[in-house]
Amino acid sequence: MDAAGLEKKMQQLLIVCGKHIFQSIQHDFPAVYFLLLCINYAMYFYAVCFLLLCVFSCCVFSPAVC
């Protein structure tokens, strides 16, 4: 088995383990799962807001670029 094949196997293993851990958290600790979900959505929300802020400030301070 070459390095690329091994790396792919490791990635698949990580994905399977991650899904299993996530499902067990969802089943055993719904509150923790909900919190993780909220953190996940909050991060996406902040990322989108940050990008919009960057675009807005770009357009305000250098209209030639936009």
* pLDDT for 65: 66
For the chain, what are the domain ranges? 3-61
Whole-prediction pTM? 0.42
Q: What is the pLDDT of residues 7-40, one digit of tens each?
A: 888 888 888 877 877 788 777 888 888 888 888 8
* pLDDT for 48: 92
**Sequence letter at residue 47:** A
- Higher per-residue pLDDT: 44 or 65: 44
Q: How far, in Å, CA of 8 to CA of 5, rounded?
A: 5
Cβ atoms 35, 42 nearer than 8 A: no
